[in-house]
Amino acid sequence: MDESTQTESEQGTPTGYGFCSWHQRFAAGVRLINHIEQGSGPGGVQYACQPCRIQYNLVPFADR
Ligand SMILES: [Zn+2]
């Protein structure tokens, strides 16, 4: 049980499939951009897909 488990998810590949808050559709490779702490429902986080990150000049939360 000592095999390395960080092979596939850390190669700069897209994070996953999720809802893009900018174009309001589900997309592959969304990244967390913001999370807003307002405590009102599940809409506290905003994810953006790569085309929207480029178009709106968004910086992923983890890259700041
Ligand atoms: Zn998008």
- Cα gap 28→20, rounded to integer Å: 9
Q: Are the beta carbons of 19 and 29 closer than 8 angstroms?
A: no
Say what the pLDDT of residue 36 is: 64
Say what the pLDDT of residue 1 is: 62
23 alpha carbon – ligand 1 mean position (Å): 4
17-21, 23-27, 48-52, 60-64, range with the lowest pLDDT: 60-64
- For the chain, the helix, strand and coil percentages under 3-state DSSP, each to the nearest 5: 15, 25, 60
Query: For the chain, what is the mean pLDDT?
Result: 77
- pLDDT above 70 covers what percent of the chain? 62
Q: How far is CA 39 from CA 18, 26, 36, 44, 45, in A?
A: 21, 23, 8, 7, 11
Q: The tokens of 10 are what?
A: 């850390």
For residue 25, is pLDDT > 80? Answer: yes
Q: Which residues surround ligand 1, an ion (CB under 5 A)?
A: 20, 22-23, 49, 52
Say what the pLDDT of residue 50 is: 93
